[in-house]
A = this chain, B = another copy of it.
Amino acid sequence: MSHRILVLNGPNLNMLGSREPEVYGSHTLEDILAGLHTIADERGAVLTDLQSNSEGALIDALHQARGKVDGVIFNPGAFTHYSIALRDAISASELPVVETHLSNVHAREEFRHRSVLSAVCLGVVGGFGADSYAVALEALFRHLDT
């Protein structure tokens, strides 16, 4: 059966490609999502996506995904570091969620070393630029296939 995957992107990721390319690379979010759709098609998976700068909208998305998708690729952006509400939403979704980061957060400011979400995620992938998403998708497929 084909897997249903939600790709969720948090605050400021709509600015990718224009914003601070030395940190985040020159790919836009559209570029990245196009690449993921190609991979999903090859695998016969169905991929939906959402980007929002609003914590509440991301929580809503996770609630609605429950029972509707099989797994989530989630780049929570800066919410990684303080949104305990998103943490509870991940728990409430009862879905395998892969926390995904473009940059290596441990090579950045001290306050970006702490994740309040990791403990309730399936796993973490980060540091590979735009490739982080494809790598996270690979991880999620492997998880869903076992």
Contacts and interface: CB of A to CB of B under 8 A. Distances in A.
Interface stretch (A1-9, A42-50, A56-64): A56-64
A19 to B, nearest CB: 4
Q: A-B pairs with the 7 shortest C-beta distances? A: A123-B127, A54-B56, A106-B118, A78-B84, A11-B85, A78-B85, A53-B59
Contacts of A56: 11, 52-57
B82 A78 contact: no
So how many copies of this chain end up in the complex?
Answer: 12
A28 interface: no
Interface in A77-117: 77-79, 81-85, 87-89, 91-92, 94, 104, 106-107, 111-116
Contact of A138 (B15, B107, B138): B138
Give chain A's interface secondary structure class. Answer: helix
A53 B64 CA distance: 13
Interface of A: 10-12, 14-15, 18-20, 52-57, 59-60, 63, 77-79, 81-85, 87-89, 91-92, 94, 104, 106-107, 111-116, 118-128, 131-132, 134-135, 138-139, 142-143, 146
